[in-house]
Amino acid sequence: MEIYDKRKKGYIEVWLTKEEQEMYDRSELTRLLLKDVKEKKCMIMFFLSGKEELYNNTEGLLLKNLGCA
**What's the CA gap between 59 and 41, in Å, rounded?**
37
Nearest alpha carbon to residue 18 among 57, 50, 54, 52: 50
Facing residues of 43 across strands? Answer: 11
pLDDT for 5-62, tens place per residue?
Answer: 998 899 999 999 989 999 999 999 999 999 888 767 889 999 988 877 878 888 888 8
- Would the pTM of this model clear 0.85, i.e. be above it? no
